Amino acid sequence: MQTPRQHTNDFLADALQNEAIELGLDIPDHVIPYLTAYAKSLWEWNTRLNLTRHTDVQHFVERDVTDTAALCPHINRAEHVLDVGTGGGVPGVILAILRNDLTVELSDTSTKRVAALQSILNEINLPLKIHHQPAQQVVLTAMECNLPFHTLVIRAVAPLRKLLTWFEPISDSYDRLLVIKGPRWESEKQEARHHGHLKTVTARRIASWPIPHSDTESVLLEVKKRT
């Protein structure tokens, strides 16, 4: 006989899988239990600390899983990836679940968020390294240790101009940024160009996908040092 907890997990897993199928997402069956455990733990922690606005199956899959799945085709096998400003773990935790060939690390400057996320990772038995320090310092330290990051993934952290203020000066220390942006991405890029932040790096759209229940889309920007 199933316990109430097992029944709840099975119900949530079925709901996640059905929502993914409805959206046409190619999510392997074997990762559904891990996504289920992460969502359940994230939502439980969210009652104590604001970690996410996506607190139901529909929004979790439509926004968090969909955005992360859009990253996957653009990251090579076995890359070393840093999730900048991870917050509640999106996209880094979901990326590690979907792509277990990657070495994914997380960074955030909030003591409370880092503590909550560490507890979530412990609960779901996912051993990802979390850095409680600015991502720029994490990147520089990795470079000094000869373990540089290939890709920095960024979602819902800051406008493009501010991101380039942080990372353009150290662009020799990583390969590229992959930045998930919403409908304002073109104006953000124009602002960054106006302030001179695109003189040494390029920022190009490499993917886009619709935002459900709206007439807008999300885009993936790849930011790389100019050759």
Helices 160-167 and 135-144 pack at an angle, to 10 degrees, of 30
pLDDT at 2 over 60: no
Instruction: Please report, for the chain, the start and end positions of each structural domain, with discontinuous segments joined by +.
Output: 62-225
Q: What pLDDT sits at residue 7?
A: 44
Sign, CA dihedral 29-217-51-187, equals: positive
Distance, CA of 202 to chain centre: 21
Q: What is the mean pLDDT of residues 75-82?
A: 98
d(CA 41, CA 33): 12
d(CA 220, CA 206): 6
Higher pLDDT, 4 or 189: 189
The topology under which CATH files domain 62-225 is Rossmann fold (3.40.50)
**pLDDT tens for each residue of 139-191:** 999 999 999 999 999 999 999 999 999 999 999 999 999 999 999 999 999 99
Q: What pLDDT sits at residue 3?
A: 42
**Structure token digits, residue 64:** 């968090």
Q: What percent of the chain has pLDDT over 90?
A: 93
pTM of the full structure: 0.94
Q: What pLDDT sits at residue 186?
A: 96
Q: What is the mean pLDDT of residues 64-88?
A: 97
Residue 6 pLDDT grade (very low, low, confident, very high; cuts 50, 70, 90): low
What are the CA-CA distances from residue 20 to residues 31, 37, 58, 62, 222 (Å)? 12, 16, 9, 8, 26
Q: What pLDDT sits at residue 8?
A: 60
Q: Whole-number mean pLDDT of the chain?
A: 94
Q: 73-100: string of b/e by CB count within 10 Å (b at 16+)?
A: eebeeeebbbbbbbbbbbbbbbbbbbbe
